[in-house]
Chain A
């Protein structure tokens, strides 16, 4: 079987996902287009060799609807023969797009595929796509649906993470992100977003709060108390009779930030790369997804990591760097606990708590981030994964070449 290589990975900076955020006045289409242009222009890519553009987008309605991947490919001036597909595996969509691209390359279906994602959360807000999950009793009642914030608080309760634990993790995310930015560790992958006239509008992650400390976080009220009282705490206890009272520890400061952004990864076969004189940066050893308990919804990373490493004949000891999306602090703390991972080798440059989580794009962003870090520190292997809505996990293992 053909092997799939990563040739490049870029991302936009992340703008605050609010009407006063820097990227609010740029369409999602423009963000996706600018990423596709950068992937082409940085690599002298003959786009006629691109056999698919796969973009994650979790709210594919309104301006993000109608298969934004194909539309962005056309607007970016890719060859007309390049198709596009928009996919949705919730928060892991950007990484799932990379796994699909790798599979297409591995099977011989694609020479190159551009994978990534886009989400303008300030323009197409969370929940805009509706869905049966939250409201149809056939699922919500019969399968004990609870929102992710409740799930995150359930993890903290079940596995003993205090408010100080989750806030401490959040402070670390801010510190690591600030250090990474100040040392220019993201510089090679950031594609500044340009406005309608071509003027750079944003060249840094706008959501960060480097001054965050335990005291400032301590002042924030837990965000999911009211939601719990509305009925979801009861659902959680019905699902987990031994749970006891839920300890609501998560809030805006220790959860992923709502932001706008896009990312793109150029994946291809060795032959396709050689035909353009491109040097592969990493090989994709494999990818996997898994389903996990849907009420907590956020425990998939542990299980998908075990599943993928088993299949690859590897153990956590074979992985030099881990990247797990910081959806909520307890998700990462539980992962570290369950897999006995050294906290010093996971999310080393911060994550979504500090920099934000543009739903459909994040998976591709953190894949690029960890690849940059492997190169910077001359390490070999990395495992990237995310927890996923409705109880899932998606992971990818890469190795430098």
Chain B
């Protein structure tokens, strides 16, 4: 693996360091996606490993999200898809990162993400795929799912895990506004389980792993219920429904907002694996929309102008 190193430490707890080759910040490139799959397989198969801590080797943060250059190229390919074969291939590619995160979540060993600095988009989705999340307290901590601000949407379980952690209503502004999430809010929503100081975070993670020999996400436990009951409940009709209406009335986000809401609504009513497939399809639809292309192009133009 070029982008991850793995050290098996005391008690069989592996420390996996995400350190993207030749980059100053971790992003989710195609190469990283492939290696995440390898990592999931390795963690599951190696009997010496009882669990793993996933952290970043970059000073700036855990992971800033998608490799936008690669994603922009994918988006162009997906936009051109019309045949069943091309659509099928496109949806599969759009769901690749999501499947790798799911493979980690279901590898059978407890995983703890220790995050610092930038934990954005796909980076936060990767952390949400771990069974427990520790944030290192610092003014540089920046948690968020900003996809919607680029005309995109989370595509690696962000919509599905957040609604299952926090409920539809609490997840809605996080997913649709894309604003940074303050640490106390992240703790309240279940996005972060523990805030820790830099020196103690790995030890805390190791302690949790050794106390939780088998790990299963709450939504994979039989009998799991949506925290606020899901859309077809009194809450759904009286609170979620009006919020959907409020978003319709807010100009600007268009297709991305609609697709995020659809992924939330539909995903809330099916098992996790099906919810992830639904999310991948809406992510694909969003990523191939002309609106997303325009916004990503504008993002690159703004970045170039700023340099």
Which of chain B's residues has its CB closest to A197's CB? B281
Residues of A within 8 A of B84 (CB): 199-200
Contact call A19/B271, Cβ cutoff below 8 A: yes
Whole-angstrom CA separation of A27 from B266 in the bound complex? 7
Give the contacting residue for A199; candidates B87, B278, B282; CB below 8 A.
B87
Q: Are B232 and A198 in contact (CB under 8 A)?
A: no
Q: Which of B265-307 contact A (CB under 8 A)?
A: 266, 269-271, 274, 277-278, 281-282, 284-285
A24 interfacial contact with B, CB 8 Å:
yes
Q: Which of B90, B269, B278 contacts A196 (CB 8 A)?
A: B278
> Contact string, B192-220, partner A, CB cutoff 8 A, digits 1/0?
00000000000000000000000000000
- The A17-38 residues at the B interface (CB cut-off 8 A) are 19, 24-25, 27
The B interface, classified by DSSP as helix, strand, loop or mixed, is helix
B226 in contact (CB, < 8 A): no
Q: How long is the Cα–Cα vector from A285 to B281 in the complex, in angstroms?
A: 45
B274 near A24 with CB under 8 A, answer yes
Q: Are A197 and B284 in contact (CB under 8 A)?
A: yes
Is B88 located at the chain interface by the 8 A CB criterion?
Answer: yes
Chain B residues lying within 8 Å of A27, measured Cβ to Cβ, are 266, 269
Q: Are B270 and A25 in contact (CB under 8 A)?
A: yes
Q: Does B72 make an interface contact (CB < 8 A)?
A: no
Q: Please report which residues of chain B, range 252-275, place their CB below 8 angstroms from some CB of chain A when the two chains form the complex.
A: 262, 266, 269-271, 274
B232 cross-chain contacts in A, Cβ below 8 A: 62-63
| Cβ of A178 to closest chain B Cβ, rounded Å | 26
> Shortest distance in angstroms between B32's beta carbon and chain A's nearest beta carbon?
24
Q: Does B6 contact A (CB under 8 A)?
A: no
**When the two chains form their complex, are residues B285 and A196 in contact, meaning their CB atoms are under 8 A apart?**
yes
Contacts of B82-111 to chain A: CB distance below 8 A: 84, 87-88, 90-91
Question: Of A25, A63, A195, which is in contact with the most chain B CB atoms at under 10 Å from its CB?
Answer: A25
Residues A196 and B281 in contact, CB atoms below 8 Å apart: yes
Whether A198 contacts B87 by the Cβ 8 Å rule is yes
Partner of A25, one of B88, B262, B266: B266
Contacts of B91 in A (CB 8 A): 195, 197, 199
- Min CB distance, A201 to chain B, in Å? 10
Q: What residues of B have a CB within 8 angstroms of the CB of A195 in the complex?
A: 91, 277, 281
Q: Which residues of A lie under 8 Å from residue B270 when comparing CB positions? A: 19, 24-25
Q: Is the CB of B274 within 8 A of A197?
A: no
* Measured CA separation A280–B285 after assembly (Å): 38
**A123: nearest chain-B partner, CB-CB:** B269
**Chain A residues, CB < 8 A from B90:** 197
Q: Which of A27, A123, A196 has the most CB of B within 10 A?
A: A196
Whether the pair B87, A197 counts as a contact (CB closer than 8 A) is: yes
Can you add 5 more A-B contacts, CB < 8 Å, to A25-B266, A25-B270, A199-B87?
A: A19-B270, A24-B270, A63-B232, A123-B269, A195-B91
A-B CB contact pairs (8 Å), 16 listed: A19-B270, A19-B271, A27-B269, A63-B232, A63-B269, A195-B277, A195-B281, A196-B278, A196-B285, A197-B281, A197-B282, A199-B84, A199-B88, A199-B91, A199-B281, A200-B84
Q: Which 4 A-B pairs have the closest CB atoms?
A: A196-B281, A197-B281, A62-B232, A25-B274
Q: What residues of chain B have their CB less than 8 Å away from a CB belonging to chain A?
A: 84, 87-88, 90-91, 232, 262, 266, 269-271, 274, 277-278, 281-282, 284-285
